[in-house]
Amino acid sequence: MICPYCTKIDNKVIDSRLSKDARTIRRRRECIGCGRRFTTYEKLEDILPMVVKKDGRREPFSREKIIGGIRNACQKLPVSEAKIQEFADSLESYFQDLGKKEIGSPEIGERVISKLKEWDEVAYVRFASVYRQFKDINEFMSELEEILKARQEKEDS
């Protein structure tokens, strides 16, 4: 492992810890050359399916792309980074466990959108407006009316 400070290769592992899901190892290292400490993460390389986009293009499954979309939707809202990472972990595991070579992007989008609906209505609407590609204000208002109707039904019961 190259030291991020002095770029020397010689270092020693001071501490290793397993993550909660036992899929990642966090290693605390100390550079022999400069004596500074840094952290690395070791993760089993998973073979994830290809994502088939709506237009037929295929691209590798990207956890970072999913997290980025969720972060944008949750910006300035009370949704923690830990919650986002945990959901991304579960989503990644789910699609890996399916064992499929390809998955459609709508399947990913629907899972994300349903989770956002649980977390926060504003995040849900933000994501839905991009994901569902609302053509005009009427489609947007229709989605908002559905949310209000569901909220009212919840309050009535």
Q: Is the entire prediction scored with pTM above 0.85?
A: no
Confidence band for 111, pLDDT divided at 50, 70 and 90: very high
pLDDT at position 140 is 74
pLDDT at position 104 is 93
SS3 of 106-148? HHHHHHHHHHHHHHCHHHHHHHHHHHCCCCCHHHHHHHHHHHH
pLDDT digits (tens, 9 = 90+) for 35-75: 999 999 887 766 788 999 989 999 999 999 999 999 999 99
Would you list the DSSP string of the chain? ---TTT--S-EEEEEEEE-TTSSEEEEEEEETTT--EEEEEEEPPP-PPEEE-TTS-EEE--HHHHHHHHHHHTTTSS--HHHHHHHHHHHHHHHHHH--SEEEHHHHHHHHHHHHHHH-HHHHHHHHHHHTT--SHHHHHHHHHHHHHHHHHHHH-
78-85 mean pLDDT: 92
pLDDT at position 149 is 86
